[in-house]
A and B are shown apart, each in its own frame.
Chain A
Amino acid sequence: MKLTKFLLLGILFGIVMTKSEVISWYRIQEMFRFHSFHMYGVMGSALGVGLVFVQWIKRRGIRTYDGQAIEFKPKAFSIPRYLFGGSLFGIGWALTGACPGPLFTLLGNGFILYSVVILSAVLGTFVYGKLRNRLPH
């Protein structure tokens, strides 16, 4: 089945998110209060190793497992879009203690209440879709 590999990668991701305690509301508070290196270490090392992977793909012309070229699409430049959108997400991140990956992982951890947060996030996405023509991009 073509989708099985994505299921397995998702499972690995969920285990990593849980065991590194990234899904904890308290860990996010610790991060925004600069009381611990943990979250910065997680994101910084993911970025550092990720950077090496991306450079390796680009310089060596690494292809997908079935021989396709790996493309990186440059994101269109804008300041308001990323700054305002990003800040709104940051506000939500501090409130809920979770970015989208952990939102789903928390459900699996038995925090069923987070289904309310996910529904609200889907609603927020929907309202963005309705208003997007009137927002600066």
Chain B
Amino acid sequence: MIELLSQPWPWYVAGPSIAVVMFLLLWTGKSFGVSSTLRSLCSIGGAGKNCDFFDFDWRSQNWNLVFVGGAVIGGYLAAHFLSSPEPLQLDPRTVEELSELGIAFDGSFLPEDLFSWSSLLTAKGLIVMVLGGFFVGFGTRWAGGCTSGHAISGLADLQLPSLIAAIGFFAGGLLMTHFLFPLIF
């Protein structure tokens, strides 16, 4: 059983499992959306003192912080007890295109060249980690949700705003990947 679970999970196991998580959150009277925890973190840090947007009772959202804490633990458990001995299987075309940009692939989850403490203070490292993270936080809050809140929860409820948001997610991602990556790397 552990051996089976340690294999990489196919999409048709992962996707429905995510939908089950969404359903169970609805069933407990909550909704599935991770990015709103970033707003709670701002409030916890005291941002509500001089900004109305963060002046709300974050304790009413503590269930979501617990959920996110669970996601950290789940990552730990999967990495330590269900890890696959095989390297990541990446499409050879992606490997090729990334190597043309000078980004190597060695079978792990992340490119070491970009995501390391030593690259954090280089221009590329700052763009990828600091600027990238900034856009994730700024963009999700402006759009009112991320992949979980819009592309899954919102679209599952056939909400038009979520469709526009999802189109935006892909427009931004494609622009970055196909037009800006060659300029940055």
Q: Which residues of B contact A51 (CB under 8 A)?
A: 155-156, 158
Interface footprint category on B: 35 or more
| Interface pair A100/B140, CB less than 8 Å apart | yes
Contacting B150 at CB < 8 Å: which of A41, A68, A86, A126?
A: A86
Minimum Cβ distance to chain A for residue B96 (Å):
10
Contact with A along B70-91 (1 / 0, CB 8 A): 1111111111001000001011
Q: Which residues of B contact A45 (CB under 8 A)?
A: 11-12, 14-16, 19
Assuming A85-B165, A117-B129, is B176 touching A94 (CB within 8 A)? Answer: yes
Contacting B110 at CB < 8 Å: which of A39, A72, A111?
A: A111
| Interface pair A11/B22, CB less than 8 Å apart | no
Q: Which residues of B contact A41 (CB under 8 A)?
A: 10-12, 15
Please, how many angstroms separate the alpha-carbon atoms of A109 and B134 in the complex?
22
Minimum Cβ distance to chain A for residue B13 (Å):
7
The tally of CB-CB contacts under 8 A between chains A and B is: 478
Q: Which residues of A contact B26 (CB under 8 A)?
A: 53-54, 57, 64, 70
Q: Which residues of A contact B130 (CB under 8 A)?
A: 116-117, 120
Task: Decide if the interface of chain A is mainly helix, strand, loop or mixed.
Answer: helix
Please, how many angstroms separate the alpha-carbon atoms of A52 and B71 in the complex?
25
Q: Which residues of A contact B38 (CB under 8 A)?
A: 100, 121-122, 124-125
| Interface pair B28/A99, CB less than 8 Å apart | no
Assuming A33-B177, A86-B167, A92-B134, is B17 touching A104 (CB within 8 A)? Answer: no
| Interface pair A50/B172, CB less than 8 Å apart | no
Q: Which residues of A contact B115 (CB under 8 A)?
A: 25, 111, 113-114
Assuming A5-B28, A14-B73, A42-B15, is B8 touching A90 (CB within 8 A)? Answer: no
| Interface pair B109/A109, CB less than 8 Å apart | yes
Q: Which residues of A contact B10 (CB under 8 A)?
A: 20, 41
CB-defined A-B contacts under 8 Å, sample of 8:
A10-B67, A19-B9, A21-B109, A32-B176, A81-B161, A83-B165, A92-B138, A108-B78
